[in-house]
Amino acid sequence: MNWEELLSLKRQGDTNKRLRREQDETRLGFEVDYDRIIFSSSFRSLQDKTQVIPLSKTDFVHTRLTHSLEVSVVGRSLGRIAGKKILEKHPHLREVHGYQFNDFGAIVAAAALAHDIGNPPFGHSGEQAIGEYFKNGNGQKYQSEISAKEYQDLIDFEGNANGFKLLTESREGVAGGLRLSYATLGAFMKYPKESLPKKPTKHIADKKFGFFQSEKNAFENIAKELGLLQTRKGDDISFARHPLTYLVEAADDICYTIIDFEDGINLGLISEEYALEYLIKLVKDNINTKKYHSLKFKADRLSYLRALAISTLINDAVKIFIANEDAILKGDFDVSLLDKSAYEAQISDIISLSVEKVYQSTEVLEKEIAGYKIISDILDVYTGALIREQENNASNYDKLMLQTFPKLYHNKEASKYNILLNCCCYVASLSDSAAVHIHRKISGLEI
């Protein structure tokens, strides 16, 4: 892969090439991507979607929105620092094509801002709840009526694939979705493969999947325009990651490692003694002990260690990225950047404590259980109504429910797969509160 293609400013529907030298420096195309994402309704809904603590009423706990904003800030720093070093190594990118180090930061920041845009309510359990409905719930009956890959899309419903759909899907009067640059879309794609075969290798790019069957052609066109290496051909396609995807992933890994840990401390799930001990181990080579001991309040000590930890991991991730640039461009780098971190042991300790004290806390588990029931019930009502409508067998109740189903997701003439997938995407679009509200309505608990 080469950077000239990977940094493509092209957008869906373009007939002419967009050259970096011809860009308006006051409103660079990659920065337009960021603006389009942040003003989208899908992004706004993240303000009421779970990050760690589902339906938390605690004002200092992160939502998907605040998490995404923080990941974008870290991603911007990663991109700028890496971009500066890439331009030093490949000066023709600046001298001939006009790229600047801020371009790399803008691409990574935009992709990082959108990285969770397709995630359902109730955190990662929301993805699993959608999948479980089709794998073991009432949705299992549709398996024989759709293809194996289409069924796999449903039983392994993936927020990354839904995000790609949201960002690229055309609808009436709006061609190409948000019409982001191909560089940003490439950096967004963590898993450039379809749902089958499942985990064909141990390569990080094969861990999950990144597009539904409905977006297969769109993804292929973008991947080829960017010059991504094709790793599987024929019926089962996959590509190597866009190099900047590793920086987007690192930004997410850094934030959830440190910020989820911080949330656990603020909620009292992790004791301050434990927390400070674990964070100090991570930053011990960079800490200013005099400054640290001058901080009187826990919040200030925690804030200082958090900032130092993030800065430490940013510099480490960029160091790994640059050292492995050639392997990354060849598609041979098969793990995340933090898997090669000099601080891997400390990161592992922090995540293990977060899993024990936060992710498996009673509050989280109880509300994830509720989320499963809510999502399953909503899917059951709407998928049943939509399929019976297509078969001209809708009941009066079905017709009433379909009057509440958004027209954006309602296409009676679509294939059975697309009807089911659109229903899943509708459920995934709901905020936590909206899902609870709809569930109360269909359960007769609210009039």
50 strand-pairing partners: 63
Q: What are 54-58's contacts with CB under 8 Å, separation 24+?
A: 54/122, 54/123, 54/125, 54/364, 54/367, 54/368, 54/370, 54/371, 54/432, 55/122, 55/367, 55/432, 55/433, 55/436, 56/363, 58/266, 58/267
- Residue 74, φ and ψ in degrees, nearest 5: -65, -40
Confidence grade of residue 447 (pLDDT, cut at 50, 70, 90): low
Which tens digits make up the pLDDT trace of 383-442? 999 999 999 999 999 999 999 999 999 999 999 999 999 999 999 999 999 999 999 999
Confidence of residue 267 (pLDDT cuts 50, 70, 90): confident
**Mean predicted confidence (pLDDT) in 239-244:** 98
Q: Positive or negative, the Cα torsion across 26, 27, 30, 31?
A: positive
Amino acid (one-letter) located at 322? I
- Show the domains of the chain with their CATH numbers: 3-113 (1.10.3210.10), 121-156+361-447 (1.10.3550.10), 249-333 (1.10.3410.10)
The pair of three-digit structure tokens given for residue 326, joined into one six-digit string: 């050639």
CB 221 within 8 A of CB 171: no
378 — pLDDT class (breaks 50, 70, 90): very high
Q: Label residue 263 by pLDDT band (50, 70, 90).
A: confident
Burial category of 294 from C-beta neighbours within 10 Å (exposed 0-12, middle 13-18, buried 19 and up)? exposed
Residues 6+ apart with CB under 8 A from 395: 388
CB proximity list for 55: less than 8 A, separation 6 or greater: 122, 367, 432, 433, 436
Confidence bin at 134 (pLDDT 50/70/90) = very high
CB atoms within 10 A of CB 395: 12
- pLDDT tens, 44-57? 999 988 777 655 55
- pLDDT for the residue 297: 87
User: What percent of the residues of the chain are helix, what percent strand, and what percent coil, each to the nearest 5?
Assistant: 65, 0, 35
Structure tokens at 238: 């996959």
